A and B are shown apart, each in its own frame.
Chain A
């Protein structure tokens, strides 16, 4: 089955700096890569996603890049703010009927004011 590895497990940055979280996947058939943000005690929420026919996608301060050849994808957050502090999860799935996702173990991002 699919295996997703996520690094780093913890990341601390100063407010205004950029943060980068990286994930690798094992199944070359995976073609959908969402990212979720989970604040303490709350549910994960989808923040951005990318499909295998696209190399990069941007939404305001958040961007995701995908390298299909190397089987890795990354989340980039620019101009970080304290409210960006949360656990971020990457995931990979095959866009079949089931649509089940395999998640990375998460990255705890702390933005220091």
Chain B
């Protein structure tokens, strides 16, 4: 069966520090991968998606970036965090034309 792992679960980082969140999927090949952010009490905002290794599409301009160095690995990064980067970050995977399976999420607080 397919599983998705996301870490860390929680993170407190100072303003201006770097960020690296990692997501890996097991039990499937060539998945579509996504990074979403959920602000408190709000919906899910698509940040990045990838349909293959090295293929990254950005949905919103920001100081975040994403990379897909391996088929089942998706990384969200930032060189310098802003207060507005705080939120609940969710990685997800899907097969074409199907719903998402989300990771357990990372709660990021920028202080």
Do A and B come from the same complex?
Answer: yes
Chain A residues with CB under 8 Å of chain B are 6, 32, 34, 36, 42-46, 49, 89, 95-106
A-B contact count (CB 8 A): 58
Check if B99 sits within 8 Å of A97, measured CB to CB.
Answer: no
Do B102 and A43 touch across chains, with their CB atoms under 8 A apart?
yes
Chain A residues positioned under 8 Å from B101 (CB to CB) = 46
Q: B100 and A46: CB pair below 8 A?
A: yes
Chain A proximity of B100: nearest CB distance (Å): 7
Contact B97 A43 (CB under 8 A): no
Determine whether the beta carbon of B97 is less than 8 Å from that of A44. Answer: no
Cross-chain contact of B43 among A49, A96, A100, A103 (Cβ < 8 A): A103
Q: Does A43 contact B103, Cβ atoms closer than 8 Å?
A: yes
How far is B37's CA from A103's CA once the two chains are assembled, in angstroms?
A: 12
On chain B, the residues within 8 Å of A46 by CB distance are 99-101
Inter-chain contacts of A104 with B (CB < 8 A):
43
The chain B residue with its CB closest to the CB of A44 is B102
Can you name 7 extra interface pairs (CB under 8 A) apart from A99-B98, A105-B42?
A43-B103, A44-B90, A44-B100, A96-B96, A97-B96, A99-B32, A106-B43
Asked whether, in the complex, the Cβ of B102 is within 8 Å of the Cβ of A45, the reply is: yes
Residue in contact with A98 in the complex, picked from B49, B98, B103, B104, CB distance below 8 Å: B49
